[in-house]
Chains A and B, each alone.
Chain A
Amino acid sequence: GDSVTQMEGPVTLSEEAFLTINCTYTATGYPSLFWYVQYPGEGLQLLLKATKADDKGSNKGFEATYRKETTSFHLEKGSVQVSDSAVYFCALSHSGGGADGLTFGKGTHLIIQP
């Protein structure tokens, strides 16, 4: 079956540091890939997505590129802020917009220190 593997946290960085959170997947066919973010006390929010190979999703300074050859969708940001502290989930779906149930990674807790 489908699975998503992402780096375990917590990841602690200083403000303005470069961020990479690794995500790899196993799935049949050509899934759509997503990053969700969960701030304390809130529900998961879609951060970005990519629906086909070589697509780059981007939002709020975050980027991730769908790499089919390495089955990866690593999340990056050039300069993190304290407000980026949250839990980040990588996920996949076999429907383009996430219309079907999602398969999630375990989540990576990101802590940004001033």
Chain B
Amino acid sequence: GAVVSQHPSRVICKSGTSVKIECRSLDFQATTMFWYRQFPKKSLMLMATSNEGSKATYEQGVEKDKFLINHASLTLSTLTVTSAHPEDSSFYICSARKGEKNEQFFGPGTRLTVL
């Protein structure tokens, strides 16, 4: 199998604070991971592509200084929402690409609520 975990599953924070979300591939190595954002009744929107050992590639309209991505190892990528505001409240989902299958495996998501 190919299992991807996210931590935390749910987080509530105050406006102005920073929140870090972890995405881990548990039983495979992933040179590439992806971060998506999902609004209620909306599709998942690709935010950025995270490559191990290099800078993330952000989609148009996504603020790279606000959504910091670090892919420091082959099994871990982190998304830090800096100076969070209520409009950042959303469901954040990561996926990891498994090399030989060239397929994405998704984490269960993290619900962020900014008060």
Contact = CB atoms under 8 A, between A and B. Distances in A.
A107 B44 CA distance: 9
B67 interface: no
Interface stretch (A11-19, A53-61, A62-70, A98-106): A98-106
Interface in B68-115: 93, 95, 97, 101-109
Contacts of B4: 43
B54 interface: no
B42 A98 contact: no
Contacts of A44: 93, 95, 106
A42 B102 CA distance: 21
A46 interface: yes
Nearest to A6: B43
Interface residues of B, number: 24
A105 B32 CA distance: 22
Given A4-B43, A99-B97, A105-B43, A43 B103 contact: no
A96 B97 CA distance: 13
Contact of B42 (A45, A96, A97, A106): A106
Contacts of B103: 46, 97-99
Contacts, number: 53
B102 A43 contact: no
A89 interface: yes
Nearest to A43: B106
Task: Give the interface centre of A43, A99, A101 by most chain B CB atoms within 10 Å.
Answer: A101
Contacts of B97: 99
A98 B34 CA distance: 11
B46 interface: yes
Q: Which 8 residue pairs across A and B have the least CB separation, nearest first?
A: A97-B102, A43-B106, A101-B46, A44-B106, A104-B43, A104-B44, A106-B43, A43-B108
23 contacts: A42-B108, A43-B4, A43-B105, A43-B109, A44-B93, A46-B104, A89-B43, A89-B44, A95-B102, A98-B102, A98-B103, A98-B104, A99-B97, A99-B102, A101-B34, A101-B49, A102-B34, A102-B46, A104-B36, A105-B43, A106-B42, A106-B43, A107-B43
